Structure 1
């Protein structure tokens, strides 16, 4: 703990290979990466979207699990054993709906919050149900907002997190390589949009049904960097290297220091004034 900056929180993004239809193998791979994150003293470890199953339309319903199903039980056991928070993407079955979801599990093994992906592209809307904007989750490791994959493309999907004073947005992702060119810019923009840190935890591997590769490129970004003249990449705290390898990347943040810096910026007040007067939203 720093006297001036407050206690440190270490965040880890787990870039993981996801094999469709190989749930037990995927869980074993996730357990190994989570153990590595714990060895690095991570307080929060973030797995990709649909980390245990992948997202494949022909097997969507058989791959999906309930909120108390075996994949969530696995996350709960890992969180208890390792003593840390875990954010992960889960293909979630809820009645007749299947959601591309994210869950945040506390070190006691209890789910602290769920989020269902709000941005569903037209080609998957017959398979994946549409969620709604999420609520920030208060935890000992920061006030956290969740996003899933395609949400990252839309500023509207995360805009509420600025008004909710989120410290961190975790985007669990499993996107195709054709999305890769603007990714770095978009992650930096979403973090800056919402005056927070952002974790992009991404999958790697092949989707044989779509005949496309997942893009990887996991990163941790600081959206509060205002002056980067000495270092244009000062806001990129950690980043997985190019290629399709698995990786664990991590970065330290000090929420007390960051909240103080954020309080000196005008964006919160300007958001409320602009959104109310120009866009007709609520104050």
Structure 2
């Protein structure tokens, strides 16, 4: 049965958790009305993206705290799977995390970002375990932002059974980075290549807006197993929806018969 997925590209206000949750609810309602079974929000969608530990601590919430209650209630009210970037507090530690909720409102998992970029290492503790979640939509491999740069990590999720990669991200840039080629088409290509090389869809939901002297790139992308862009956005807030090809789709079967990338690996040469 075909599955429709959505990237909800939002521009949260740092620290305005209640306002951000209201904006997310509006986007989720629109996605569900359009037929989405899975709605993916970006990294730090609930809180905005903090650049300091003080700002992160001020908006952090336990995995099963009030933020999770609101997100779970939203998923249940719409009957959808919902993934959203949160800042999780656990004792003295903070985590850049992605929580997944089922259509009954239950929190199915909270994944803690494993690969921390640059100054994030002064704010968060790194996650210590990959997460693949079995759902009615398939097994979802959860990733956050920088994780997508590491092909071996994404491949490990697929080898562990993931039939779809979900990535919540905040790709940011400034004039210097843009001049180096770090821009919308580049981050869109990351989703396409990870999908292509693993033969599974990649749903990459990115922040919009700006903060801390940086601009969020946006360009949320839903890439099919062949790397084909099924839906995408530019830098502005919006909603991208796509119906993923079913297993019995003729083109999908033909492609999977040809693109035997995982089976063709030669780990004896590079393992």
> Where in structure 2 are the equivalents of 1:1-283 lying within 5 Å?
7-56=1-50, 57=52, 58-178=54-174, 179-181=182-184, 182-207=186-211, 210-224=212-226, 235-240=228-233, 242-243=234-235, 245-257=236-248, 260=253, 264=257, 265-271=259-265, 274-275=266-267, 277-280=268-271
The normalised TM-score by structure 1 is 0.85
- Find the aligned partners of 1:219 and 1:237 in 2 and give their Cα distance: 8
Alpha-carbon deviation of 1:251?
A: 0.5
- Find the aligned partners of 2:183 and 2:61 in 1 and give their Cα distance: 29
- Cross-structure match for 2:177: none
- Find the aligned partners of 1:64 and 1:262 in 2 and give their Cα distance: 43
Query: Residues 57-91 of structure 1: CA distance to partner in whole angstroms, max 9, x if unpaired?
Result: 13111211101111111110001100010011111
- Cross-structure match for 2:178: none
Change (3 A) 1:279 1:133: farther
- Find the aligned partners of 2:129 and 2:229 in 1 and give their Cα distance: 26
The answer (yes or no) to whether the contact 2:201–2:223 under 8 Å persists in 1 is: yes
Q: Which runs of 5+ in 2 are unaligned?
A: 175-181
- Specify the SS of the correspondent of 1:270: coil
- Find the aligned partners of 1:255 and 1:95 in 2 and give their Cα distance: 43
Q: Which moved more, 1:66-75 or 1:262-271?
A: 262-271
Q: Which moved more, 1:126-135 or 1:139-148?
A: 126-135
The answer (yes or no) to whether the contact 2:132–2:139 under 8 Å persists in 1 is: yes
Alpha-carbon deviation of 1:261?
A: 5.5
Q: Which moved more, 1:260-269 or 1:131-140?
A: 260-269
- Find the aligned partners of 1:63 and 1:143 in 2 and give their Cα distance: 30
Change (3 A) 1:156 1:53: same
- Specify the SS of the correspondent of 1:267: coil
Alpha-carbon deviation of 1:48?
A: 0.8
- Find the aligned partners of 1:15 and 1:142 in 2 and give their Cα distance: 23
> How many correspondences in the alignment?
258
Q: Which moved more, 1:256-265 or 1:17-26?
A: 256-265
Change (3 A) 1:261 1:63: farther
Change (3 A) 1:47 1:236: same
- Find the aligned partners of 1:216 and 1:103 in 2 and give their Cα distance: 20
- Find the aligned partners of 1:195 and 1:62 in 2 and give their Cα distance: 40
The answer (yes or no) to whether the contact 1:119–1:157 under 8 Å persists in 2 is: no
The Cα RMSD (Å) is 1.9
